[in-house]
């Protein structure tokens, strides 16, 4: 499942780093905090690997 926006891709990258132990979970905020709890490492890796080119900054922006 590819990320739908740049913000979603960045949140997934932060959650993935926390899940791997590269950064403390206490530093996560908002969506990335929820993602680390509810998604597997594989799902986070797929979201974080999405190309950003052509994506809106946030979902709903054109």
- Tell me the C-alpha distance between 27 and 1, whole Å: 25
- Tell me the C-alpha distance between 4 and 35, whole Å: 15
How crowded is the C-beta side of 27, counted as CA atoms within 13 Å? 11
pTM of the model: 0.82
User: For the chain, how many structural domains are there in total?
Assistant: 1
41-56 pLDDT tens trace: 999 999 899 887 888 8
6-52 pLDDT tens trace: 899 999 999 999 999 999 999 999 999 999 999 999 999 998 998 87
- Count Cβ atoms below 10 Å from residue 14 Cβ, excluding itself: 22
Residue 59: domain span:
1-62
């Amino acid at each position: 499942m590819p990320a739908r926006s740049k913000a979603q891709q960045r949140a997934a990258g932060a959650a993935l780093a926390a899940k791997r132990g590269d950064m403390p979970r206490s530093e996560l905020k908002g969506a990335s905090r929820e993602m680390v709890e509810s998604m597997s490492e594989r799902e986070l890796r797929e979201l974080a690997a999405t190309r950003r080119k052509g994506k809106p900054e946030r979902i709903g922006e054109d």
